[in-house]
Copies of this chain bind each other. A is one copy, B any other.
């Protein structure tokens, strides 16, 4: 195969193949009399490995070293491991974004530490308390609120009232002994979900279930509900997850 064909097949540019040839990462196994690069099946094989490692963020020099040192089975194992790591990290980032969405929707402020948790390899706690004190105060938070909203004041009042209404009815149901997995509680949960979708972001049942889990696992969110009524965090969480299961089923 010629450069152009290989490039099209692999979704890269001809220039990239030239580059890989120049730096000795992937030299085609043959040339025509007129100097055209000719790529063989093993060359494509190697290119494939290169692209996987590249996507995983390895510098090309290191890729060359790896490919020249280890056997194919080892590459597959390593790539598998690295990809699973990446999967985990991406899942964590998705979860973090969803948490942030929910925090905004509920008017809870996350600390910088919480936000940066995914980046940088975790810091000593010494720092934590100090920064919490410095940045966790309400002034910065209120300012941030003002800055971040595009809703008008009236919208905002209405949205808050809607949210508190559902929370109140959740609390009533809890007090009245209505089971959290009853149809009535699930209906409330569904209303909660649609409210979020309307006012903040598109929240499908699956994502809603994730939020439900967070309501008990994350102390900030738990505190928000516990403050309204003891046991409400778990109650809402159960109702939301039961509703999600109902939607799925």
Interface residues of chain A, those whose CB is within 8 Å of chain B, are 1, 8-12, 40-42, 44-45, 48, 51-52, 55, 71-73, 76-77, 79-80, 83-84, 86-87, 90-91, 93-94, 97-98, 100-101, 104, 112-113, 115-116, 119-121, 123, 127, 131, 134-135, 140, 143-144, 147-148, 150, 200-202
A44 and B121 in contact (CB under 8 A), knowing A98-B80, A150-B73?
Answer: no
Count of chain copies: 2
A84 CB to nearest chain B CB (Å): 6
Assess the B201–A77 pair: CB atoms within 8 A.
yes
Which B residues are CB-close (under 8 A) to A73?
104, 148, 150, 200-201
Complex alpha-carbon distance, A83 and B87, angstroms: 11
Partner of A94, one of B44, B87, B97, B135: B87
Assess the B87–A90 pair: CB atoms within 8 A.
yes
Assess the A143–B87 pair: CB atoms within 8 A.
no
Which B residues are CB-close (under 8 A) to A143?
42
A9 and B41 in contact (CB under 8 A), knowing A76-B104, A201-B77?
Answer: no
Query: Which B-chain residue is minimally distant from A91 (CB atoms)?
Result: B87
| 17 A/B residue pairs, CB under 8 Å, sorted by A | A1-B131, A8-B127, A9-B120, A9-B131, A10-B119, A11-B116, A42-B140, A44-B116, A71-B148, A72-B148, A76-B97, A76-B101, A76-B201, A77-B201, A77-B202, A80-B101, A83-B90
